[in-house]
Amino acid sequence: MTERHSQKIHDTRFYDQHIPPFVEAALDQRYGSLYSSMPQLGLFSLQDVSTYTEWSGPSVRELFLYRRERGRITVINQGMRIDGAAVQRFADAVFAHEQGSYRLHFHSVQPTDLHRLKRKVCLPISEDIVVTLPDNEASYLATLGKSLRQSLRSRLARTQGLTHQIVSGHAISTELLDHIIRFNHARMASKQRHSAIDLAESTRLLRLVNARGMVGTIHIEGQLCAGSMVCRFGDDVFSLLNAHDPAMNHLGLGKLSRHLMILEAIRTGAQRFHLLGGYFSSKRPFGAQRIPLYGLIVYRNRFRMILDSIALTRLLIRSLNYQLRTLIDDRKHERSGSRQKRALALLTRLRQGVSERKRVW
């Protein structure tokens, strides 16, 4: 058993419709997740949110923020790794505390030891794409494919006047953020797609990076050409936005900006770099791995589970949609890899043919 699992629960407490001041630091220390942090959760209304804590001595062992609505308990902190036994303890406690409640719902979490849970439904619905970081840059570069290493080095070498700078926290201005978002809008427009970053989202991004974030900027001869926005919680760095001037597509600034930000995370001692979900094929070359996130529902009793067919159907549809998108993305990668292998084999045969003709003549 791990040290955390071997610790005994000394106390459990409910704070009805209240979030105590210690919660922000406790969430960071316990879970280290963007979607289980007060800077992220505080971007939205926290009205009527209650708090549940488990204590082991002076330390918080588990901490769940939740809402109750018509007998349904919904945990709002997400993305964290949670043990099945801890979920069962919380379920038992909250069903006893919240009289009349019958369903406990976790969105997008990483549950373990599910055999410890009773009356549960658990299906994959989204993902967290994560690069596990080594202790130094050389070890990280060694994990990359040869072609990617050569490409990144070539781009750095041939781009004259390139500088990479880090802007942290409250030093990040609205003007800088707007400039990078305009890159995103222009790039989406060039693909005839609509950017998801509107005025409300840009305001939330600014609040988040001011609180816990930093921006890595790429200037070429003094002109801002790309930016990568991240935030950090404990040992984990989360990529929020990576964008560049579409006029600089030939320089590959998107990959270069991401690469330089990963190196900065390694230099500052981070252990994981989160690329969030979607477009895994573009993130795979950086050593990223796809970690499924699950929708988890626990019921008071089996009768309530049977009656809750609408919620279960919605969860199933969402899970099937995610799994289909994942399958399509993986198949595209497999076909691309097959084409690359065939091209490499053809190139090898051509080289061999040239070599043989030279020997003949």
Gap between the Cα atoms of 189 and 195, Å rounded: 8
The whole-number average pLDDT for the span 164-191 is: 91
The answer as to whether 349 is a domain residue is: no
pLDDT value, residue 169: 87
Give the pLDDT band (50/70/90) at residue 337: low
Judged against a pLDDT cut of 80, whether residue 347 lies above it is answered with no
pLDDT value, residue 135: 92
Same domain for 79 and 188, yes or no, is no
Is residue 20 a contact partner of residue 65, using CB atoms and an 8 Å limit? no
Q: What are the C-alpha distances in Å from 27 to residues 42, 52, 131, 336, 358?
A: 13, 12, 22, 41, 68
Same domain for 89 and 146, yes or no, is no
Same domain for 142 and 250, yes or no, is yes
Is residue 167 a contact partner of residue 214, using CB atoms and an 8 Å limit? yes
The answer as to whether 79 is a domain residue is: yes
Same domain for 111 and 146, yes or no, is no
Is residue 265 a contact partner of residue 230, using CB atoms and an 8 Å limit? yes
The answer as to whether 286 is a domain residue is: no
Same domain for 102 and 47, yes or no, is yes
The answer as to whether 354 is a domain residue is: no
The answer as to whether 51 is a domain residue is: yes
Give the pLDDT band (50/70/90) at residue 356: very low
Q: Strand pairing of 72-75 and 50-56?
A: unpaired
Give the pLDDT band (50/70/90) at residue 269: very high
Same domain for 100 and 221, yes or no, is no
CA 250 from centre of chain: 28
Lowest mean pLDDT among 118-122, 259-263, 265-269, 273-277: 273-277
Judged against a pLDDT cut of 50, whether residue 4 lies above it is answered with no
The answer as to whether 17 is a domain residue is: yes
Same domain for 190 and 313, yes or no, is no
pLDDT value, residue 343: 47
The answer as to whether 287 is a domain residue is: no
pLDDT value, residue 280: 75
CATH number of the domain bearing residue 98: 3.40.630
Q: For 317-331, how does the pLDDT look when each residue is reduced to its tens digit (9 = 90+)?
A: 999 999 998 888 888
Q: Which amino acid is at 82?
A: I
Average pLDDT, whole number, for the chain?
87
The answer as to whether 53 is a domain residue is: yes
The whole-number average pLDDT for the span 252-278 is: 91
Per-position DSSP letters for 98-157, written without gaps between them: STT--EEEEEEEEEE-GGG-SSEEEEEEEEEEEEEP-SSHHHHHHHS-HHHHHHHHHHHH
Q: For 182-220, how does the pLDDT look when each residue is reduced to its tens digit (9 = 90+)?
A: 999 998 888 888 888 888 888 899 999 999 999 999 999
Gap between the Cα atoms of 87 and 121, Å rounded: 13
Same domain for 140 and 264, yes or no, is yes
Give the pLDDT band (50/70/90) at residue 335: low
Give the chain's domain count. 2
Global pTM value? 0.83
pLDDT value, residue 119: 93
The whole-number average pLDDT for the span 287-292 is: 90
Same domain for 32 and 54, yes or no, is yes
Q: For 93-129, how does the pLDDT look when each residue is reduced to its tens digit (9 = 90+)?
A: 999 999 999 999 999 999 999 888 899 999 999 999 9
Q: For 64-82, how does the pLDDT look when each residue is reduced to its tens digit (9 = 90+)?
A: 999 999 999 999 999 999 9
Specify the higher pLDDT residue, 182 or 342.
Answer: 182
Residue 205 is part of which domain span? 134-270
Same domain for 206 and 159, yes or no, is yes
The burial of 144, by beta-carbon neighbours within 10 Å (0-12 exposed, 13-18 middle, 19 or more buried), is given as: middle
With a pLDDT cut of 70, the percent of the chain lying above it is 89
Same domain for 113 and 158, yes or no, is no
Residues whose CB falls within 8 Å of the CB of residue 5, separated by 6 or more in sequence, listed in order: 83, 85
Give the pLDDT band (50/70/90) at residue 360: very low
Same domain for 87 and 142, yes or no, is no
CATH number of the domain bearing residue 256: 3.40.630.30
Give the pLDDT band (50/70/90) at residue 83: very high
Judged against a pLDDT cut of 90, whether residue 333 lies above it is answered with no
